[in-house]
Structure 1
Amino acid sequence: METSFQVIVVGGGFAGVAAVKELGRKGVKVLLIDQHNYHQFQPLLYQVATAQIGVSEVTRTFRGLFQRYRSATVLTAKVASVDVAAHTVTTDQGDTFHADILVLAAGAEANYFNTPGAQENAYPLYSVTDAVRLGNAMVHTLDAAQRDSGGGGVHIVVVGGGPTGVETAGAIAENFKYVIPKYFSPELAANSSVHLVDMVPSVLTPFSDKSKAYATKRLQEAGVVLKMGSGVTDVRQDGVTFADGTSLPAQIIVWAGGLKAGAVVAASGLEQGRGGRIDVNPDLTAPGAPGVYVLGDAANMTDAHGVKLPQLGSCAQQAGKWAARNIHADLTGGTRAPFAYVDKGYMAMIGRGAAVAELGPKRIQMQGPLAFLAWLGVHVVLLSGNRQRISALVSWADDYLTHSRSHVVLGNPD
């Protein structure tokens, strides 16, 4: 079976959703294909894993997102292959769909950089499934440690000192400090540890020295042990080994060490650049592939001056909306425009009342409670629905005031 649309969008992340919404507003017949039937808010997955919020706060069905756009269709299916020359997409069920214009916004996957044992033994944190799996593993490991008459603790290593690693390590440390004594025992909390490790010399590489210093201090105050400047060379079920010959024991290793383009992009035949992503043209089209756009974590994008743009949700959202405008121009005989990114800066949560933010192209810097409030405000706005926003705010307030964890996940850690 082959069905035709004006546009097919592969992937329902920030970029794909933004593109479908904008195309839907313009009445373009568009098909979104994703292996899930929901959009997931990736910046808060670490909070799902650490039971600060629930899955329902970070997910929303595509049909709910697009219900007002009659020209938008959603297909829940895994993409088996794409033909960028023919503008076709084939699912693993053997159905083929054709479009005048093809948009690849299939996101990314963990990049283990060929580190032995990492893919087999580490927990990535890029999807809701990843977050629930990690949360399950931490709960079961804590249960096992409490049953152990030897009194040993739970030891966790987070690999990667970027925002995801910093936020995850900070959240785990706060659980050890405030939550584990309440739900398990003070002794278990006292005997547990979380290490944040990276080959680079400091955390939050894209940030200013002031922000790095503040983040380092607050992480250490929360109980995070930092080991920077030596890369991980081996990941085992019971720990990690470093390039300097040292090692750390751990029951759980969280991999926040980087991302690469997903399998759909890798198999597309398009020439890949850094991180396996496609170095797109200024108008977000793929070089040498007329009628093909590549967006979000699948693309390496630059501004009008050739400066590389960040792999951020806000950048992906803007790119999706911009690409939709260019696509509409393609379909109506208009002229494409180069992507004009509005730089909103960077931010990272460190812990309770602590965050760093560098806002706008001038990088207006904030640290501490003010940055924490800014972080909350930005993430509330970015969440995909009012129910998700209200629920997240209630969960955050409950967590801040009571250290309650009503979202602890249960199930099989595997």
Structure 2
Amino acid sequence: MEQTYEVVIVGGGFAGVAAAKELGHKGVAVLLIDQNNYHQFQPLLYQVSTAQIGITDVTRPLRGIFRRNKRVRVITAIATSVDATARTVTTADGNTYRGRILVLATGAVPNFFNTPGAEEKTFPLYSANDATRLGTRLVELLDETDSRPNNGGVNVVVVGGGPTGVETAGALAEMFKYVVPEYFSHSSASKCSVHLVDMVPTVLNTFSEKSQKYARSRLAKMGAKLKLGLGVTEVRDDGVTLADGTVLPSQLVIWAGGLKAGPIIDESGLPQGRGGRIDTNPDLTAPGFDGIYVLGDAANTTDRTGAKLPQLGSVAQQSGKWAARNIYADLTGGAREPFKYVDKGYMAMVGRGAAVAELGKKHTQLQGPFAFIAWLAVHVVLLSGNRQRIRALFSWFENYLSHTRSHVAPAQAKAG
């Protein structure tokens, strides 16, 4: 059975939701398809896995977002194939949906770069399910260590020195240093460790040298051990093997080593570029295919100068809004305009009260508490929904004042 809409959007992430909102407000009939019934705030997933905030702080029901906009219909379904020429998408239940305009904002999947054992034995951190799975496994390992303290602590390896890897390593180092002793035996906690590994000889490669130096120093101060300039050649049951043959023992390997476009893009017939993503035209359309827009982590998006833009939530969100304006022009006989990105800079948290931020088009640099405050402010604004903002603020206030974790699962509490 085939159903037709003015616009079909595949993907309920930053880009898909932003486009649907804008089009819905303009009175355009939109179908939004996602395999989950919620929108997730990916930049904070590492905080879910380390019990700093709860899963409901970073997820919001998609139907709740559009409950007051009757022009946007949301369905939960797995998109299995796309026909770019016909502008149709087919879902796992056998239904086919056609749009006058088709928007692919399907996100990405972890890129393991064909590293042996990585896909089977690591924990990526790209979805809410990933975060809860990682958090559950971390708790299990801490429980096992607490019951057999003579066997040593939990050794974690984080692969990838970008913002996700740095923030995750910092959160884990802080957790092992301050939080775990509150819930487990101190002797077990003191034996826990976290290694951050990357083939690049520094962390936060897209940031300034000053920010990189601060992040490295802060991570080391919290106890994280850095192994930089060495790639991972194999993930084993007992750890990882590095390019120089060194084996880092580990019970838990977290993969933050990069992303690539998902299989639906790979099989779409659209011309692919770096990371399997679509190299879009300046107006965000797919080259050679009329009525197809590709957004977010599924696209290699450029600005008006042709420079490639980073895979950031702000790029996805802005491109979603811009695409909606171009789509409305398509439907009403107007003219598309090339995407103009407003550069808000970069930022990454490196633990309690510490962050790096390079703000605005000139990338004004901040480190330490001021960058941390800026990080908090930006993420509160970006969170979807007032309830999510209030809950996250409460959790942060509680965590950073007392090192407690209101989201620690009952299994994590000390016996007695």
TM normalised by structure 2 equals 0.98
1:117 corresponds to which letter in structure 2? G
Using the alignment, how far apart are the partners of 1:341 and 1:121 within structure 2?
38
Q: Which position in structure 2 is the counterpart of 1:393?
A: 393
* 3-state SS of paired residue (1:265): helix
Matches of 2:53 and 2:14, distance apart in 1 = 20
Q: Structure 1 residues 406 and 6, CA, compared in 2 at 3 Å: closer, same or farther?
A: same
TM-aligned CA deviation for residue 409 of structure 1:
4.3
* Counterpart-to-counterpart distance in 2, 1:305 and 1:382: 27
Q: Deviations over 1:195-245 (max 9, x none)?
A: 000000000000001000000000000110000001000001210001111
- Corresponding pairs, count: 411
**Alignment correspondent of 1:185:** 185
Task: Give CA-to-partner distance per residue, 1:130-155, whole Å, 9 cap, x none.
Answer: 00000000000010111115241100
The whole-number CA distance in structure 1 between the counterparts of 2:409 and 2:182 is 17
SS at match of 1:351: coil
Structure 2 residue 26 is the aligned partner of structure 1 residue 21:
no
What is the letter of the counterpart of residue 95 of structure 2?
A: D
Rounded Cα–Cα distance in structure 2 between residues aligned with 1:49 and 1:213: 26
1:67 maps to 67
Q: Distance in 2 between matches of 1:290 and 1:342?
A: 27
Partner of 1:232: 232
Distance in 2 between the 1:232 and 1:386 partners? 41
- In structure 2, C-alpha distance between the alignment counterparts of 1:383 and 1:29, rounded to whole Å: 26
Separation in 1 of the partners of 2:153 and 2:71?
Answer: 55
Give distance in 2, aligned partners of 1:350 and 1:192.
Answer: 18
Partner of 1:107: 107
Aligned partners of 2:149 and 2:188 also within 8 Å: no
Q: CA deviation at 1:408?
A: 2.4
Task: Specify the alignment match of 2:245 in structure 1.
Answer: 245
Output the amino acid matched with 2:362: K
- Matched-pair identity in %: 67
Aligned equivalents of 2:179, 2:149: Cα separation in 1: 21
In 2: Cα distance, 1:369 partner to 1:20 partner:
36
Corresponding residue of 2:298:
298
Q: Does the 8 Å contact 1:136/1:410 carry over to 2?
A: no
Contact 2:149–2:187 (CA under 8 A) maintained in structure 1: no
**Whole-Å separation in 2 of the counterparts to 1:408 and 1:294:** 39
Alignment correspondent of 2:262: 262
Q: Distance between the aligned counterparts of 1:115 and 1:299, measured in 2?
A: 24
- 1:305 and 1:394 map into 2 onto residues whose CA distance is 42
- Partner SS, residue 150 of structure 1: helix
Q: Name 1:383's counterpart in structure 2.
A: 383
Q: Which residue of 2 aligns with 1:330?
A: 330
How far is 1:405 from its partner?
1.3
**Structure 2 matches for 1:101-180, cutoff 5 A?**
101-180=101-180
What root-mean-square deviation, in Å, do the aligned CA atoms of Structure 1 and Structure 2 show?
A: 0.9
Per the TM alignment, residue 402 of structure 1 is displaced from its structure 2 partner at its CA by 1.6
Alpha-carbon offset, residue 266 of structure 1:
1.0
- In 2: Cα distance, 1:184 partner to 1:373 partner: 30
Q: Partner residue of 2:5?
A: 5
Which stretch shifts more, 64-73 or 225-234? 64-73
1:410 CA drift (Å): 6.9
- CA distance in structure 1 between the aligned counterparts of 2:138 and 2:21, rounded to whole angstroms: 37
Give the TM-score, by structure 1 length.
0.98
Counterpart secondary structure, 1:342: coil
Pair 170,302 (structure 1): closer, same or farther in 2 beyond 3 Å: same
After TM superposition, give the deviation of residue 247 of structure 1 in Å.
Answer: 1.1
Q: Per-residue deviation at 1:299?
A: 0.2
Distance 1:233 1:145, change over 3 A: same
Q: Distance in 2 between matches of 1:347 and 1:229?
A: 23
1:260 Cα deviation from its structure 2 partner: 0.3
1:361 is the counterpart of 2:365: no
Instruction: Tell me the distance in 2 between the aligned counterparts of 1:252 and 1:110.
Output: 17
Aligned partners of 2:41 and 2:159: how far apart in 1? 21
Given the alignment of the two structures, is residue 215 of structure 1 paired with residue 215 of structure 2, yes or no?
yes
1:76 equivalent in structure 2: 76
Residue of structure 1 in register with 2:414 after alignment: none
d(CA) in 2 for partners of 1:99 and 1:349? 41
Alignment match, 2:89: 89
CA distance in 1, matches of 2:79, 2:315: 24
Measure, in 2, the Cα distance between the counterparts of 1:237 and 1:133.
18
